[in-house]
Every structure is written in C-alpha cells, then in structure tokens.
Structure 1
C-alpha cells in the first residue's frame, strides 16, 4: 500500500510539473516600463526598478523559445513607445550589470 501511495505522489508531482515558459508579453511590458524614461533620454541612468526588470527578464530567458518570445514582445513594444534611443536600449543590460544579448528594435529579426 505504501508503494502505491508513493507511486501516486510521484505521478501527481510529475503531471503538475511544466517547464518554465517565457512570461506573457503583458508581464514583459511591466518589466520594461520603468526603463522608458532612460530609453527616451529623459533620465541619465536607468533606475533601480528598471534594472530589476532587466534582471527579471534575463532570469525568465531559459530557452531559445523564451528568447524568441521575449524578442517578439520587445519588437511590438518598440512600436508603442516613440522616441526610443535604440543604442541606449542595447546598452541597458550592460548598465544594469546583466549579460543579456537581446536587441530592442522595431526591425529586429527574432528568429536569429
């Protein structure tokens, strides 16, 4: 009987486990909104909330599919925020102390 209970517990745990997925685009947008003042040249440096969002975004990138999903969301976001300084955007991970190779641009090829 104990073996059956252990087996059922293992099966229940295995069926409940799903690999982590990239956050939905709405969550990604929440992560980058604090960076907008820096990205549109209204702030000299990214703030702590911005860098926290960049770190969270990096942590959410576990697989190539995650990176593609995040890239597509950022591509859409680039169209929503006019006046973004894209070289600043590309330097943002470095300024926040994050190793993250992702281009923030309205014309990025997310499949690469």
Structure 2
C-alpha cells in the first residue's frame, strides 16, 4: 500500500513538473495515475503477470495517445516517474513487457536511454 501511495505522489509530482501554466498534461490524467496504482505489483516484482486491471488501465491510456506529441509527452513523464524508484533498473524489463502482455502495440521503453522524441 505504501508503494502505491508513493507512486501516486510521484505521478502527481511529475504532472506538476510537466504542466506549463494554462496547458493540460497527459501525466495529470487520472488514467495515467491509475496505471501506476494498478500495475505497481507487477512492475515491482511482487506478481508474475500484470493484473487485468493493470492491462485495462494501460490499454485505456494507450488508446488516448493519438498524436506523436502526446506519445512523446507520456514517454517523458513515464521516464521521470520510473527514475524515482530506487529499483528502477529492475523494473524496466517488466515495464517494457506490458505492451506484449496486455496486447497493445509497443510505444516506448522505460529505459532512460530510450529517446522519447523518436
């Protein structure tokens, strides 16, 4: 439970950083925050597979990212949040497996070396 709260705080912080005055941000969307809450047990290694709720949240957000700019923003936001975990390097392979495990097209890697502008 503490990890979920920690992730929620990180997502809100990332959203605050990413939002410029008067602009909306993908990172502040409730669906994006829901991914963190629903997928944390999988990405953190406690569960061997993502839950149905995790995949539903992931699919919902993925379907909202219509433009290249939105996908780039989401990628940057995710990198900021992932980098805040002390075990971020261990989480990256699990995060990168979500598209396949949830049946959605690959969008980006959680690896901080991945260029979100591509």
TM-score over 0.5 for the pair: yes
- Structure 1 counterpart of 2:67: 63
CA RMSD in angstroms comes to 1.8
User: What secondary structure sits across from 1:93 in the alignment?
Assistant: helix
- Structure 2 counterpart of 1:49: 53
| Unpaired segments ≥5 residues, structure 1 | 1-21
User: Taking structure 2 as the reference length, what is the TM-score of the superposition?
Assistant: 0.67
2:102 to 96, 100, 104: 96
User: What secondary structure sits across from 1:43 in the alignment?
Assistant: coil
- Structure 2 counterpart of 1:18: none
| Unpaired segments ≥5 residues, structure 2 | 1-23
Deviating beyond 6 angstroms after TM superposition, the runs of 4 or more aligned structure 1 residues are none
Residues 29-61 of structure 1 deviation map (CA, whole Å, 9 limit, x = unaligned) = 332321111111111110111101110121011
**Which of the pair is proportionally richer in helix?**
2
User: What secondary structure sits across from 1:98 in the alignment?
Assistant: coil
- Structure 1 counterpart of 2:86: 82
